[in-house]
Structure 1
Amino acid sequence: MTNVENERTGTGRIGTRLRAARKAAGLTVADLAEQWRDRAPEQVRRRLPALKDLERTIRGHEAGTHAPGPRYRLLWAHALRMPESELFPEPLPHENASAVGNQGISPTAESTVVAKPAPHRLETDEEDVKRRQLIRDAGALAAGAAIAPILTTLTDAWQASHPRLPGATVSRAMLDDWTDAYRTHVRSYVNAPPEQVLAKLTRDWAEMAPHLAHVQPKDVERDLAHAAAQHAYLIAGTAIQIGDPRLATRWWTTSRLMADRSGDSLLSAYTRSWEVTNRVTDPHEDLGELLILAREARRLSGRHPSGTMIYATTVEAEVLAFMGHKRAAVDALRHAEDIFERIPSTEPDREELLRFDQCCVYSLAGLRDRALEAHRAAREFYRPETHLYNTIQLDLYETVLEAHRDPGEASRQAVSILEAVPEDRRIRRVTLTARRVLDALPEQALTLPAARELRALTTR
């Protein structure tokens, strides 16, 4: 049987999948043969051939020259730590023939059993194996290695149980699930270690990815792109926190692309504002470029007063403050406060975003009374048990206010705030905010012991 003929049969498709799964696990054929021998139950191990023969068997399975029987399917699944149903989702040819025989048809040597065409696949078997491996790895990090394959199988089964929307590759339940997942990820984003957040986001994105590459009905494409944009900008923000700007750049681009594809201009505005506020604290960023992006977000937010318009305007004020343009920053913030007053009471006003950026801008501008008032208002929205990172940033911005009045005490407070944060929670937006305390210190105060200790804590 030729390779082309193999690909047309169940054995060919299964062989491709097995080879891809082995490579994804980082195993050579010899490694896998040893795994089979080591992991096989005692009664099976006694009947196994020599290692060289096992290697020939593996190559035969992968080439599609013969299909693995029940014993070898179990060995494949055990060695690769995958559910057997995932490795072998389709009946093997001899199982099809058995089913035909049970219907009263006896295939002869001369007859040809015509298999039903395989259902439309969104990706090749190799791509599918890699995607599933990614989902399992993400699940292992998020929930533990032992349960990760079970969660993957449950997710696949749940998705398969819901009928697809007409002309689409997804169900309404899948779209709603990804939308709900975003809200869960946001709650983690403001509290959990970034590695855990990224693992959970990766699992959901890996589920969405093949559907994004497929042509969908317009309304499905819109909803799918909306959920994808939200996941993408969370991935980008998390990439910044783990110190991978290249990865972040890739996902910022993806988030803007997905938001624009959704046709929702408010989402496009919010996505850009989120990007700016995550990037602006990094001293290596081009603030002029970020100001352009912030103003693009404000333009996209439209003319109707909304929470998204407030966010876009306060983020622009934030960039201006970091650029040292304090008067322009305060003017932009006052404009945001005016927008807030004009939002209809029936619409969400996102007051928490306004209060947070008031703390930032008024603290950096040295407007003590306004900053303290903003801090009191912001504390109503941001508490350590619900918004750990925002609360830490608020503490640090409050310390910025003391930097000129009492540099030594301000430095000691900032050090105390950082040391109280567990190591795995000292993300970049926390340490970069702490550096604002250093920036606000008089030059002669930078040699103080507490200031030197603060610098050491923020450059690790």
Structure 2
Amino acid sequence: MDEETFGQVLHRLRGDRTLEAVAKAAGIATSYVHKLENGRGIPSRKVLLALEAATNAQGALIEAAGKNEKRSAHNEEFLPSTTKTSAVRTLDTNDAFGEDATERRRLLQLAASAGVGLGLGGEPVRQLLDLALNAERSTEDWQLACADHLHALRTRPATQVVSDLAVDLYVLRQQIHHAPDGHLSDLCRTVATLACIQANATTRLGDHGAAIRWWHTARHAADASRDAALNVLIRAEEASCGLYGQRSPATVLYLVERAETIPAPSLKLLTAKAKALSLLGRHDDAIRAVRELSNRAEEGPERDDQGFWTSADIYFTQSWIYSAAGKEDFAEAGRSDLMQSTSYWSTSENGPYRTNTRLHEALGFVARGEVDRGLRCAAEALDSLPAALRHVFVRETGRMVLQAVPLGQRDRPAVRDVSSLLAIEA
């Protein structure tokens, strides 16, 4: 059987998703994806990286591109030439350290998918040297890596986050494979945390199927760590991301109720519960959950060794719930507290978080019958955010605003304006 071409691999990984969906997730033109699938183009590294993330290829596209390199003289857009990687190839073919050469090639492919150079000072060479010297990362090193990736999730495009995680996830897999049993708990904590970040970033790209699979990995690793606080945190993050078009609100509420059986308190879990109730139209129940959230927050700070939780989440939840219920005074109080929160500004450098807060305000206007004012507010908020940063969390919040518009008023020009900014149908 003939080997698959790059275009065939891309088509297979796209699966049932439309060309438009993959193109949007990768940030490229639909026609270009079509050309690549039909073998009529060679992607740049940047495009290759974006397609890796958009299709959750896990190195398969990089591998296909590498094979294409051997068949084509026009190969520099995929991977550097042999002359640039001779030192790497020397390491790759030397098995004196007991490392499998195929696995090392896989590392190079994953590193290339992260957009790093393959020169002597590049990341792949450093990783290979670490492996050759058995330079496994310490628990402290992995904690720092988790903190760095979490910061990236809050401040950089999701495609970059997914790509940057690729090498660390590979190295972590290798370390687990060789780790003694006594070290597995700490490594499972790291797996749970990094898988959680990967699932969150994949959610932002709109690849919900892949995200759900990463949530499964994160939960499994958290279970293996026997850390109850981490266990409930992972489930709270999963429920929170599920609210943005990934799952039905009823399913999210079910996930919350299951997580509530774990003997570890979680304010994050309560925020997800309040939001799910709101999306189900159970505004009185959602408000009761918000009040419980405020009361429990006053009892003491939330324990979160990973750094996912901030006090800003409380005020953000108040802004959402009270806006949807049409209770502007309470919603404005939540937004005011949010704007004064140091943790709010520390988690919103790239704008989407602030845009969602403004969309809450727009939702409140629509909920109180001021439809045109609410839609203008939503359009202004979305227009102020670069299109590349309007990820799923922003688009689904914008969709909430549109869905709040009464059916008989959805033919308004302002509805079309907001729809076009979200690239969704009214």
The answer to whether the superposition gives a TM-score over 0.5 is yes
State how 1:119-268 maps to structure 2 within 5 Å: 119-121=97-99, 124-138=100-114, 140=115, 143=116, 145=117, 150-158=122-130, 170-172=136-138, 175-214=139-178, 216-218=180-182, 220-268=183-231
State the match for 1:10 in structure 2.
none
Is the CA contact 1:137–1:148 (under 8 Å) kept in the aligned structure 2? no
**1:371, 1:312 → 2: CA distance?**
20
State how 1:105-124 maps to structure 2 within 5 Å: 119-121=97-99, 124=100
State the match for 2:335 in structure 1.
375
Q: What does the per-residue CA deviation read over 1:373-404, in whole Å, with 9 as the maximum and x for residues that have no partner?
A: 11111122323863522111111111111113
Is the CA contact 1:298–1:313 (under 8 Å) kept in the aligned structure 2? no
**1:356, 1:35 → 2: CA distance?**
51
Q: 1:185 deviation in Å?
A: 1.6
Q: 1:279 deviation in Å?
A: 1.4
Residues 128 and 448 of structure 1: CA distance in aligned 2, closer, same or farther (over 3 Å): same
Q: What does the per-residue CA deviation read over 1:2-53, in whole Å, with 9 as the maximum and x for residues that have no partner?
A: xxxxxxxxxxxxxxxxxxx997721586x49x799x9xxxxxxxxxxxxxxx
Residues 22 and 324 of structure 1: CA distance in aligned 2, closer, same or farther (over 3 Å): closer
State how 1:207-356 maps to structure 2 within 5 Å: 207-214=171-178, 216-218=180-182, 220-282=183-245, 285-300=247-262, 302=264, 309-343=266-300, 350-356=310-316
Query: Aligned AA for 1:184?
Result: D
Is the CA contact 1:265–1:300 (under 8 Å) kept in the aligned structure 2? yes
Is the CA contact 2:239–2:255 (under 8 Å) kept in the aligned structure 1? yes
**1:192, 1:28 → 2: CA distance?**
31
Q: 1:423 deviation in Å?
A: 1.8
Is the CA contact 1:35–1:79 (under 8 Å) kept in the aligned structure 2? no
Q: 1:345 deviation in Å?
A: 9.8
**1:223, 1:447 → 2: CA distance?**
55
State the match for 1:13 in structure 2.
none
**1:346, 1:312 → 2: CA distance?**
13
**2:322, 2:86 → 1: CA distance?**
55
Identity, % of aligned pairs?
22
State the match for 1:110 in structure 2.
none
Shifted more, 331-340 versus 127-136: the winner is 127-136
Is the CA contact 2:287–2:322 (under 8 Å) kept in the aligned structure 1? yes
**1:353, 1:149 → 2: CA distance?**
41
State the match for 2:412 in structure 1.
448
Is the CA contact 1:189–1:197 (under 8 Å) kept in the aligned structure 2? yes
Is the CA contact 1:22–1:28 (under 8 Å) kept in the aligned structure 2? no
Is the CA contact 2:351–2:385 (under 8 Å) kept in the aligned structure 1? no
Residues 333 and 387 of structure 1: CA distance in aligned 2, closer, same or farther (over 3 Å): farther
**1:249, 1:222 → 2: CA distance?**
23
**1:325, 1:22 → 2: CA distance?**
49
**1:292, 1:197 → 2: CA distance?**
29
Is the CA contact 1:24–1:130 (under 8 Å) kept in the aligned structure 2? no
Query: Aligned AA for 1:382?
Result: Y
Q: 1:205 deviation in Å?
A: 0.7
Query: Aligned AA for 2:281?
Result: G
State the match for 1:436 in structure 2.
400
Is the CA contact 2:84–2:118 (under 8 Å) kept in the aligned structure 1? no
State the match for 1:78 in structure 2.
83
Residues 149 and 243 of structure 1: CA distance in aligned 2, closer, same or farther (over 3 Å): farther
State the match for 1:421 in structure 2.
385
Q: What does the per-residue CA deviation read over 1:153-173, in whole Å, with 9 as the maximum and x for residues that have no partner?
A: 12333565576xxxxxx342x
Is the CA contact 2:375–2:418 (under 8 Å) kept in the aligned structure 1? yes
Is the CA contact 2:363–2:374 (under 8 Å) kept in the aligned structure 1? yes
Query: Aligned AA for 1:388?
Result: G
Is the CA contact 1:187–1:386 (under 8 Å) kept in the aligned structure 2? no
Q: 1:336 deviation in Å?
A: 1.5
**2:74, 2:387 → 1: CA distance?**
38
State the match for 2:355 in structure 1.
392
**What secondary structure is seen at the aligned counterpart in 2 of 1:83?**
helix
Is the CA contact 1:310–1:336 (under 8 Å) kept in the aligned structure 2? yes
> What is the TM-score normalised by the length of structure 1?
0.69
**1:146, 1:128 → 2: CA distance?**
13
- For structure 1, list consecutive stretches of 5 or more residues without a partner in the other structure: 1-20, 39-74, 91-117, 164-169
Q: 1:215 deviation in Å?
A: 5.2
Q: 1:137 deviation in Å?
A: 2.0
Q: 1:190 deviation in Å?
A: 1.9
**1:245, 1:159 → 2: CA distance?**
34
Q: What does the per-residue CA deviation read over 1:390-428, in whole Å, with 9 as the maximum and x for residues that have no partner?
A: 111111111111113421121112112112211211101
Q: What does the per-residue CA deviation read over 1:295-344, in whole Å, with 9 as the maximum and x for residues that have no partner?
A: 22333252xxx5xx111112111111111111111112211212112126
**1:365, 1:439 → 2: CA distance?**
14
State the match for 1:56 in structure 2.
none
State the match for 1:99 in structure 2.
none
Q: 1:232 deviation in Å?
A: 0.5
**What secondary structure is seen at the aligned counterpart in 2 of 1:300?**
coil
- For structure 2, list consecutive stretches of 5 or more residues without a partner in the other structure: 1-61
Residues 387 and 269 of structure 1: CA distance in aligned 2, closer, same or farther (over 3 Å): farther
Q: 1:84 deviation in Å?
A: 3.8
The structure whose Rg is larger is 1
**1:150, 1:344 → 2: CA distance?**
42
Q: What does the per-residue CA deviation read over 1:60-118, in whole Å, with 9 as the maximum and x for residues that have no partner?
A: xxxxxxxxxxxxxxx9942767624432334xxxxxxxxxxxxxxxxxxxxxxxxxxx5
**1:336, 1:192 → 2: CA distance?**
29
Q: 1:188 deviation in Å?
A: 1.8
Q: 1:221 deviation in Å?
A: 0.8
**2:409, 2:120 → 1: CA distance?**
52
**What secondary structure is seen at the aligned counterpart in 1 of 2:410?**
helix
Is the CA contact 1:24–1:133 (under 8 Å) kept in the aligned structure 2? no
**1:411, 1:376 → 2: CA distance?**
21
